[in-house]
Amino acid sequence: MSIVESDQDEIRQIESGQVPTRYARGWHCLGLAEKYKDGKPHTVKAFGQKLVIFTGSDGKVNVLDAYCRHMGGDLSLGEVKGNEIACPFHDWRWGGDGRCKSVPYSRRVPMRARTSTWQTLDQDGLLFVWNDPEGNPPPENVVVPRIEGAEDEGWTKWVWNEIVVNTSTREVIDNIVDMAHFFYIHKNFPTYFKNVFEGHIATQYFDGISREDVTPADPDPSAPKMLETRSVASYYGPSFMIDDLTYIYETFNMKTVLINAHYPIDENSFVLMSGIIVEKKPELPGDPDQIAATQAQWILGGFNQDVEIWQNKARIDNPLLCEEDGAVYQLRRWYEQFFVDVADVKPEMTDRFEHELDTSRPNESWKKEVADNLALRRAAEGQLI
Listed in sequence order, the residues at least 6 apart from 61 whose beta carbon sits closer than 8 Å to its beta carbon are 33, 36, 37, 53, 54, 55, 120, 122, 127
Output 182 or 249, the one with its CB closest to Fe ion. 182
User: Does residue 94 belong to the site contacting ligand FES (CB under 6 A)?
Assistant: no
Buried b (16+ CB within 10 A) or exposed e, 19-55: ebeebbbbbbbbbbbeebbeeebbebbbbeeebbbbb
Question: Which amino acid is located at 9 in the chain?
Answer: D
* Among 36-44, 51-59, 71-79, 182-190, the segment contacting ligand FES (CB under 6 A): 71-79
User: Does residue 375 belong to the site contacting ligand FES (CB under 6 A)?
Assistant: no
As measured in angstroms, the least distance from the Cβ of 163 to ligand FES is 33
As measured in angstroms, the least distance from the Cβ of 19 to ligand FES is 32
* Among 29-37, 67-75, 153-161, 173-181, the segment contacting ligand FES (CB under 6 A): 67-75
Nearest Cα residue to 158 out of 119, 123, 204: 123
DSSP 279-324: B--TTSSS-HHHHHHHHHHHHHHHHHHHHHHHHHSPP-SS----TT
Torsion of CA 373, 375, 378, 383, to 10 degrees: -100
Q: How far apart are CA 85 and CA 91, in angstroms?
A: 9
Note whether 43 and 66 are within 8 A (CB).
yes
User: Does residue 306 belong to the site contacting Fe ion (CB under 5 A)?
Assistant: yes
The gap from C-alpha 222 to its chain's centroid, in whole angstroms, comes to 36
* Among 12-20, 70-78, 150-158, 322-330, the segment contacting ligand FES (CB under 6 A): 70-78
Among 27, 92, 158, 193, binds ligand FES (CB under 6 A): 92
* Among 54-62, 238-246, 285-293, 306-314, the segment contacting Fe ion (CB under 5 A): 306-314
Among 117, 120, 123, 175, binds Fe ion (CB under 5 A): 175
User: Does residue 54 belong to the site contacting ligand FES (CB under 6 A)?
Assistant: no
User: Does residue 100 belong to the site contacting ligand FES (CB under 6 A)?
Assistant: no
Among 30, 87, 271, 273, binds ligand FES (CB under 6 A): 87
Q: How far apart are CA 228 and CA 244, in angstroms?
A: 14
Listed in sequence order, the residues at least 6 apart from 267 whose beta carbon sits closer than 8 Å to its beta carbon are 19, 20, 21, 48, 168
Output 100 or 172, the one with its CB closest to ligand FES. 100
Question: Which amino acid is located at 328 in the chain?
Answer: V
User: Does residue 214 belong to the site contacting ligand FES (CB under 6 A)?
Assistant: no
Output 86 or 292, the one with its CB closest to ligand FES. 86
87 makes contact, choosing from ligand FES, Fe ion, none, with CB < 5 to 8 Å by partner type, with ligand FES
Tally of CB atoms within 10 A around 102: 17
* Among 172-180, 268-276, 310-318, 348-356, the segment contacting Fe ion (CB under 5 A): 172-180
Which parts of 7-26 interact with ligand FES (CB under 6 A)?
none
Tally of CB atoms within 10 A around 231: 20
As measured in angstroms, the least distance from the Cβ of 287 to ligand FES is 49
Note whether 46 and 264 are within 8 A (CB).
yes
Output 72 or 319, the one with its CB closest to ligand FES. 72
71 makes contact, choosing from ligand FES, Fe ion, none, with CB < 5 to 8 Å by partner type, with ligand FES
User: Does residue 66 belong to the site contacting ligand FES (CB under 6 A)?
Assistant: no
Provide the binding-site residues for ligand FES, judged by CB under 6 A.
68, 70-73, 87, 89-90, 92
